Chains A and B, each alone.
Chain A
Amino acid sequence: MSALYHVTRSSKAAQLAAVFGAIGLIFLIAAPWWAGSAMMRLLGEIFLYLALASLWNLMAGYAGLVSVGQQAFVGFGGYMLFAVTIAGGLSPFAAIGLAGILGGLIAVPVALLIFRLRGAYFAIGTWVIAEVFRLSFAQVSSLGGGSGSSLPVAVVRSLAANKDGREAISYWLALGAVVVVIAAVYLFLRSRNGLALMAIRDNELAAGSLGIDIWRTKFVVYIVTAALTSMVGALIFLQKLRISPDAAFSVNDWTAFVIFIVVIGGIGTIEGPIIGTLVFFALRETLADLGTAYLIILGFVAIFVMLKAPKGVWGLIRARFDLQLFPLGYRVLKRIQKKGA
């Protein structure tokens, strides 16, 4: 009898998940035909929050960059959409892409500044940046100043001819965004950069001694996350049709909720934000009537999870069943061959 070892990234569970995922995706793409307006709007919201959560998770859970200021880019992306379509006359589709690119560009000087801070001070620094963005945009009267502005009807009409068409397009854009974001995160983590990132996360000192440029890796992650977050921000405000500084740069909406999603779902895994988003929206749909009590409950749940189950719901599942649906780690499998007698 001889044993052969082979190394694989995949597993039965991952392959199964891929199949189910593909089926689910087809189902979701077909939503405009089986879902009503309210359902599509809810799904769209779920997709966009999931995208934001996946991006925040990439930064915090993998790159160790905890930001409480991502609302800076959500709002920036939203404002760029408005600015570019109103002033530049571009189509919303182009504007969304451009918003992403511009977000990435502005993230460069921002990163150069705040990378001088570490740990929790970095976190608060990101918040300061968001405040600077908010206060600055409130000064721009052509974009509505402190009270904001609405998306012109002409721009809205250019999405699609009729209301049904517009709803479907908005929905597909959101679905497309979350698929792009999760795919990007997954591919990034499987790449050399991603490996470097996980090495840094596990042991920064060792990673550095292997020649990994820690600063540059984190910098790249920050820029890419900013760009994609801006793109999602543009989509969010395309759906809302109206923007104002307080809504665009709201800490509660774009940071608090996102953090809760990731913490409860499971930080540092791709599956975590997916679970977290589902849990968050389930809670929201059932508890939202309670108003502030709902937020207090969320706060307690987040603290409880962080103290008792720091790896979140997915972390518990993974520890119990040793599952990984997005194949990232390596598995060593032993294949035993019997030699004939």
Chain B
Amino acid sequence: MPEPMLQITGLNAHYRDFQALYGVGMQAHAGEVLAIIGANGAGKTTLMRSISGLLPNGAGQISYKGQDISTLRADQIAALGIALVPEGRQLFRSLSVEENLIIGGQIGRKGPWNLAAVFKLFPILEERRAVPATSLSGGQQQMVAIGRALMANPEMILFDEISLGLAPIIIKDIYAALPGIIGEGMSALIVEQDISKALAVSRRVYCLQEGRVSLEGASRTVSRSDISRAYFGVE
């Protein structure tokens, strides 16, 4: 088994006095797609923010390609090749669609993703390229958010609840585009509340419950009852 690309050990995350994650451990290998599921408040977004550097961590808890990234700044982690599609899209209000995408590529990493490639993936964005990004519909904003992360040509991409607040048909479209995005040997961590979508698209799954990892398994074989137990914490 090759070395894991992302190794998380004993991650404790705090918001001021409140502890959100307790000793979380997980690993992701190159080219692997992981699903991270859990109820509201389980700590999924906290985990994403910790990995991407938006939340400060204690040393030695997160390593990427053998390097300890726990105490690096978010902009340093982005330069290493980890990109986040944040919960709630969080596009830049004062920037147009095109500018949001361009700034995603600010980092200057080499790779297949550029403006033309993103427009090919999501043609509607090319039509609306000069429009303020936040005036788009929810689904289109999600496309911009994904495109923005892709422009950084990351090796690992974190999707935080991309289906939140979107109509089912839009969610279907976005998930249909996902293999085209991740297929190129990129690793992905997909945080989802929609369990079936998450399992369908991933190799392995972790379940978080009240800040702890309650289940780890292969997406194909993990049982529904195991998931229910791990999700809700009920015996």
Are A and B in contact, CB atoms below 8 Å, in the complex? no
Q: Which A residues have a C-beta under 8 Å from some C-beta of B? A: none
